[in-house]
Structure 1
Amino acid sequence: MTLLVISPDYASHLLPLATLATRWRDAGERVVVATGPSTAGIVADFGLERVDLTLGRGSNPGVIRADEQPRDEGASLRGFFDATCIGMVQTLRYQARERLTDLMWDPVGRGRRVLEIVDRVRPDAIIVDHLAFSARMALQTAGVPYGGVVLGHPSALPVPGEVYGYPPFWPRAFSPAEDDLAELRALCDRVAAGFTGEWNRAARELNGRAADVSDAFATHGGAHGGTVLYNYPAELAETEGRMLPPHAFLGSTRRDEQVAPDILEWIARDEPYVYVSFGSFLSVRDDVLSRVAEAVRRLGVRAAIATGATPPGALGDVPDGWLVRTHLPQVRLLASAAAAVNHGGNNSVTEALGSGVPLLVLPFSTDQFAGAATVERTRVGVALDPNAATVAEVTDALRGLLGGGDGAGDLDVDRGLLRKIAEGQAARPGPVVAYEVLAGSRSLTSERIASGSPAADR
């Protein structure tokens, strides 16, 4: 059996997808990863084959910096970072306006390249990042089944009544004005219509008989035998009452990591610690990271902080016994953490929950607001506004997550649910679930390819 993995050239996307592929790799089956050159090292570290596929103008090998990107992408990133300093609606508005160039870069050229790779690799199963829109458009146009992996809150794939880019819910800490929300919704509707038109035009260029889709953001390939794989715990999603397409919940994709001996020694000390990371993008927000660091200092507990794009000096005085590095082995540190602080990114949230760690989420963009609201509603953590939360508020929230002092009762963390999620994922890890789902559809995939080149109608 051959598995083809299609990923944008971003570490935060490739890491969970490559982790899913380890189930095939460990079974002695062939795995080919189609991605860009920036993440070639990650593919090699996983021991997988790689073919070159560039899906966008930007890349991210682990920490993204605007001055290391092509000029247009660098300017877009700086605008995004500036918007996050203003607030939720401003950020979502900015992202909506950038969406056409971000998500459908050279769709016909990229689509043809994807179909060439499928012709050459002849996979029995395909895993595709949901946000690799050009790749999914090409596969759907050619009638090739695939497992689309949603690396985010389930609302990243809109269901009827929703529109991409407009959060269906958000945490209590945010109170956007009704007029601003109406303007954002109208903008997202316009962007979705324009994006869908671009998808349909590109699909017809690839295949003149391609049928139009009504909402390119909401399409998922199910008509061709595909299944949506949500990298998310079912225990959280089931509380939302949304009408989901044919799907499976992976829970998380916690990977094995190489951990330096000094970090293992640090973890082994019999003292609780808080793990802090804002991921590869939002680590640029040193103002928020420094407030979190001050809150942990006030509590007098240890901290493991992945600073990313933030210079460590921006954190202020670092107490003896803290672990502060640009990069840290997140999965391993979360396995022993007493609490975690993050931006609501999919890897950060799901990996923490997979270890039963309560969360303080400070969301900045996209589906992070819906994810933070879900964390809050299911009582596996608490959410605050990163631009408005004071050091005292962050301190109180962390004190409650750690389970001591005044204010702990206000959070009412459901530690039983945290244990249930962690135990369930230990019993059936995400890669096992993905393998079970896609192994059943592999004959369908290979038959579609064998019956005639999927690129035949180009």
Structure 2
Amino acid sequence: MTLLVISPDYASHLLPLATLATRWRDAGERVVVATGPSTAGIVADFGLERVDLTLGRGSNPGVIRAEEQPRDEGASLRGFFDATRRGMTQTLRYQAQERLTDLMWDPVGRGRRVLEIVDQVRPDAIIVDHLAFSARMALQTAGVPYGDVVLGHPSALPVPGEVYGYPPFWPRAFAPSQEDLDELRELCDRVAAGFTGEWNRAARELDSRAADVDDAFATHGGTHGGTVLYNYPAELAATEGRMLPPHAFLGSTRREEDVAPDILEWIARDEPYVYVSFGSFLSVRDDVLARVAEALRILDVRAAIATGATPAEALGDVPDGWLVRPHLPQIRLLKSAAVAVNHGGNNSVTEALGSGVPILVLPFSTDQFAGGATIERARVGVALDPNAASVEELTDALRLLLGEDGNGDGAEGAAVDRGLLRRIAEGQAARPGPEVAYEALAGTRSLTSERIASGSPAADR
């Protein structure tokens, strides 16, 4: 039996997908990962095979820096980083405007390459990053079932009444004007229409018989017998009231990590600590990291801070006893952390909740706003505006999450539902994400093999 994994050349996307694949690997099955060269080391570290597949103009082996990207991608990144400093709707508008070149890069060429790989590998099951749009377009055009892994808040796959790029809800700390929201919605509708046209044109070039889709952003892997796999806790989704397609909730995709002895020694000290990371992209926001560091100094609490693209000196004086490095073993540190501070990225949020850790989320972009609102609503954390939150507000939120104000112990009406945090963590420990994915795709194996054996991936290319 063979599993094919299709991922963009970004560590933050490949790591959870490769973690899902370990269930197949550990069962003695063959796993082939189709991704770009920047993340080849990650594939090798997981002990998996790799075939070359470039799905976009950019890449990211761990921490992304604009100056290390191709010129057009570097300019796009710098524009994005600047937009995050202006606010929620400004960032979402910028991302919407960039979306056509960002998401459907060489769709026909990439689609043909994906189908070539399917012909060569002959997989029994396929899992694809939901944002690998060119790959999904090719598979859907060829009628090949696959597991559609949504690595983000579930709103990354719009349901009726929603449009991609426009958050269905956002935290209370954000108060956009109705005019800004109307302009954003109109832009997102236009982008969705243009993107759908590009999808349909590319699909017809792959197969002249391809039927048009109404909204390319809303298509998913269940169309031809596959399923949608949300990397998200079911307990949070239950509070949102959204009508989802056939799916399974993975909860999280927490992986095994190699941890240096000195970090293990640091963790083992009998003192609580706060883990801080803004991921591979938003770690560039040194101003926000500096304010968080100041709040932690005021609280006189230990901190483990993954600085990423931010130099350590931007944090100010680093107290003795803090752990500050560009890269840290996030899974292991979250396992023992008292609180997590992050940007609301899917890996950061799901991995924290999978360890039962409350979150101070500071969302900057895309689905992070919807995710922050749900964290707030479910009372598993606090959401603040990273551009507006003062050091005092950050300090108060951290004090609440640490339980130092007497209102964070999960009592009725308390701000933090620690009982829910425990249930989420216990549920994921009992049934980890890779096991859920393996079981969910078991029913697609014969169907996938049959479609591939019939020659359907070849389309009429």
Q: 1:405 Cα shift?
A: 2.7
Measure the CA separation in 1 of the matches of 2:414 and 2:46: 39
Partner of 1:76: 76
Matched-pair contact (CA < 8 Å) for 2:340–2:357: yes
The question of 1:171 aligning with 2:171 is answered yes
Partner of 1:40: 40
Q: 1:408 to 1:356 in 2, by over 3 A?
A: closer
Measure the CA separation in 2 of the matches of 1:273 and 1:454: 51
The question of 1:152 aligning with 2:160 is answered no
Q: Which amino acid aligns with 2:323?
A: L
The question of 1:444 aligning with 2:453 is answered no
The question of 1:242 aligning with 2:245 is answered no
Q: Which amino acid aligns with 1:300?
A: D
* Candidates 420, 425, 430, aligned match of 1:427: 430
- Unmatched segments (≥5 aa) in structure 2: none
Matched-pair contact (CA < 8 Å) for 2:255–2:331: yes
What are the equivalent positions in structure 2 for 1:16-415 lying under 5 Å apart?
A: 16-405=16-405, 408=408, 412-415=415-418
Q: Which amino acid aligns with 2:103?
A: L
Q: Which amino acid aligns with 2:302?
A: R
- Where does structure 1 differ by over 3 angstroms across 4 or more consecutive aligned residues? 406-411
Map Cα deviations across residues 31-80 of structure 1 (whole Å, 9 max, x no partner).
00000000000000000000000000000000000000000000000000
Q: 1:456 Cα shift?
A: 3.8
Query: Aligned to 2:458, what secondary structure does the other structure show?
Result: coil
Measure the CA separation in 2 of the matches of 1:174 and 1:312: 29
Measure the CA separation in 1 of the matches of 2:358 and 2:454: 50
Query: Aligned to 1:217, what secondary structure does the other structure show?
Result: helix
Matched-pair contact (CA < 8 Å) for 2:407–2:415: no
Aligned residues: 458
Aligned residues with identical type, % of pairs: 89
Partner of 2:5: 5
Q: 1:246 to 1:79 in 2, by over 3 A?
A: same
**How big is the alpha-carbon RMSD for the aligned residues of Structure 1 and Structure 2?**
0.9
Matched-pair contact (CA < 8 Å) for 2:144–2:456: no
The question of 1:455 aligning with 2:451 is answered no
TM-score (norm 1): 0.99
Q: 1:223 Cα shift?
A: 2.3
Q: 1:337 Cα shift?
A: 0.1
Map Cα deviations across residues 337-371 of structure 1 (whole Å, 9 max, x no partner).
00000000000000000000000000000000000
Q: 1:457 Cα shift?
A: 1.9
Matched-pair contact (CA < 8 Å) for 1:359–1:382: yes
Q: 1:238 Cα shift?
A: 1.2
Q: 1:221 Cα shift?
A: 2.9
Partner of 1:416: 419
Measure the CA separation in 1 of the matches of 2:293 and 2:100: 37
Q: Which amino acid aligns with 2:437?
A: A
Matched-pair contact (CA < 8 Å) for 1:359–1:381: yes
TM-score (norm 2): 0.98
Q: Which amino acid aligns with 2:423?
A: K
Matched-pair contact (CA < 8 Å) for 2:206–2:459: no
Map Cα deviations across residues 183-238 of structure 1 (whole Å, 9 max, x no partner).
00000000000000000000000000000000000000322001000000000001
Matched-pair contact (CA < 8 Å) for 1:382–1:411: no
Q: Which amino acid aligns with 2:436?
A: V
